[in-house]
């Protein structure tokens, strides 16, 4: 199964859940750089449940476009639970969306540290006012880390939606 | 050559041109849904010349996030020279970027009309205050149209930069 086929399956499930609730989703992406939004819009008819999203690659963009407090970025860094939760919250608010996903990680090959190695990716989720986060350490090169992050983010978003709707 | 390899070649050239000028680029994407930003950030070190971009899938998002006048959207439609030029201009202004690319088209399978068929994609470019646009009619399914649009947009952006720097 190609990566694209993997996305399609996840996005089809996501679309079904959102359409059922008449909800919209948005995204705030750092290391995936638009890959989540690209997966959303790979599905025809996605305009029903997706209107807009942000790629915020720099800290300044995270603060300016998504209202991530500079104190959060300074204290915890861009790759942290606090930052992705603020990104998801800011994106949902600014898009007036019911659901949001945020992704910030270290895709590599540079930028890794002992406490935040290459492959570490934080995910923030906003579902109807509930905000939470999750992290994963992916293996492989830059492309592999980014692809796995998109896939994992979509999976977790769907799981969160299913749980929220129970 | 895979599509990704094609992007890599284009993005490597783009990065060289931008770094040379100490310029930054941004993007405003509709039908490509984040694919251009995803191509930008596929290159390690892209944070030097890329800070942020927008996926504006709905007309409202184009107006709200990129300051595309509603009169332009109403009169010419989202897939038009006027709209992509306003998107590129708005993105460059809002990102304080030197260069911007905007993409709006009909990826299909639905949404086509006689005058604006499936596969029609408009590209807007902003290079240091100069704004212009270009269009192409791509063949193939939704994925093929979107991939070709990313590829063509990057090629044209590089050509525009090379011309502007002569």
pLDDT, tens only, B33-62: 999 999 999 999 999 999 999 999 999 999
| pLDDT value of position B160 | 98
Distance of CA A117 to the CA centre of its chain: 19
Instruction: Please judge whether A58 and B40 are an interchain contact, meaning their C-beta atoms are less than 8 angstroms apart.
Output: no
Pairing of strands B25-29, B52-56: parallel
For residue A1, what pLDDT band results from cuts at 50, 70 and 90? Answer: very low
Q: Is the pLDDT of residue A102 over 70?
A: yes
d(CA A37, CA A92): 14
d(CA B59, CA A76): 36
Closest-CA residue in chain B for A35?
B38
| pLDDT value of position B26 | 99
Instruction: Please judge whether B51 and A58 are an interchain contact, meaning their C-beta atoms are less than 8 angstroms apart.
Output: yes
Fold classified for A3-164: Maf protein (3.90.950)
Largest CA distance in chain A: 44
Indicate the domain borders of chain A: 3-164
Q: What average pLDDT does range A120-149 have in this prediction? A: 98
List chain A residues with CB under 8 Å of B57: 41, 46-47, 50-52
How confident is the prediction for chain B on average, in pLDDT? 96
| pLDDT value of position B78 | 98
Residue A147 CB contacts under 8 Å (≥ 6 apart), including other chains:
A3, A35
| pLDDT value of position B2 | 44
Restricting to A residues 117-156, those with a Cβ less than 8 Å away from any Cβ of B are: 142-143, 146
| pLDDT value of position A5 | 61
3-class state of residue B118 by DSSP: coil
Q: What average pLDDT does range B91-119 have in this prediction? A: 97
| pLDDT value of position B22 | 98
Considering the entire predicted model, what is its pTM?
0.97
Cα angle B100-A50-A151, degrees, rounded to a multiple of 5: 90
List chain B residues with CB under 8 Å of A107: 44
Task: Check if A159 contacts B (Cβ < 8 Å).
Answer: no
Is the ipTM, as predicted for this complex, more than 0.85?
yes
Peptide bond into B109 cis (omega under 30): yes
Identify whether the C-beta of residue B106 lies closer than 8 Å to the C-beta of residue B112: yes
């Amino acid at each position: 199964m190609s990566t694209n086929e993997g996305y399609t399956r996840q996005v089809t499930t996501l679309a079904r859940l959102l359409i059922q609730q008449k909800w919209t989703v948005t995204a705030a992406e750092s290391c995936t750089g638009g890959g989540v939004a690209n997966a959303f819009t790979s599905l025809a008819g996605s305009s029903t449940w997706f209107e807009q999203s942000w790629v915020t690659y720099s800290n300044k963009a995270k603060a300016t476009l998504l209202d991530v407090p500079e104190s959060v970025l300074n204290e915890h860094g861009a790759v942290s639970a606090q930052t992705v939760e603020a990104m998801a919250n800011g994106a949902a608010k600014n898009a007036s969306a019911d659901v949001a996903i945020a992704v910030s990680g270290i895709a590599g090959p540079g930028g890794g540290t002992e406490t935040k190695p290459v492959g570490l990716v934080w995910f923030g989720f906003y579902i109807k006012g509930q905000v939470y986060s999750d992290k994963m350490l992916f293996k492989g090169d830059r492309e592999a880390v980014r692809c796995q992050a998109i896939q994992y983010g979509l999976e977790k978003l769907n799981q969160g939606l299913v749980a929220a709707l129970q």
